[in-house]
Amino acid sequence: MATDSRTWFYTTPEPRPYLIEERVNHTLWKNRLQGLSMICTQYTAPFKMEGVWNEMPVQFEWQPGKYFILRAGREVKELIGVMRQILMMRPALAYSDENGLFCVEYHTDGGKARYEEIQGNPGFQGLRRLRRD
């Protein structure tokens, strides 16, 4: 099955966990992340997935066509870069959340409103804007 982000991020996938897992995992594997396998934990928007990559927790959350949040145990530029290629957009925000996970948000609208929404909230440590549009 040849898939890319158009089949699960830029269009709303069917609410079937197996199909979401198949599409996302094949996209990851096709883009050099063979060691990462995600399991769907919420199959309606916002979609959520969890997995482990190199003994590090990884989580995805997304609203099709609007935003994608990558959460990981630490900042890994390779993972951030591959997700940039998969989603075909630059990341908008980066921070650490209240669970100690490093988060990177990708927004189709540039993320300015989201930045303003969470700025000053103590649950978002080290918030930085990565994109200016």
In a domain, 87, yes or no: yes
What pTM was estimated for this model as a whole?
0.95
- Rounded Cα–Cα distance for residues 10 and 5 (Å): 6
Question: In total, how many domains does the chain have?
Answer: 1
In a domain, 66, yes or no: yes
In a domain, 53, yes or no: yes
In a domain, 13, yes or no: yes
Q: Which of 78, 7, 69, 11 is nearest to 21 (CA)?
A: 7
Give me the domain span that covers residue 55. Answer: 5-124
- pLDDT tens, N- to C-terminus, the chain (133 residues): 568 999 999 999 999 999 999 999 999 999 999 899 999 999 999 999 999 999 999 999 999 999 999 999 999 999 999 999 999 999 999 999 999 999 999 999 999 999 999 999 999 999 999 977 6
The beta strands (E) that lie in 44-83 are given as: 47-53, 56-63, 67-72
**CB-based contacts of 53, cutoff 8 Å, min separation 6:** 33, 35, 36, 72, 79
The letter for the amino acid at 81 is G
In a domain, 132, yes or no: no
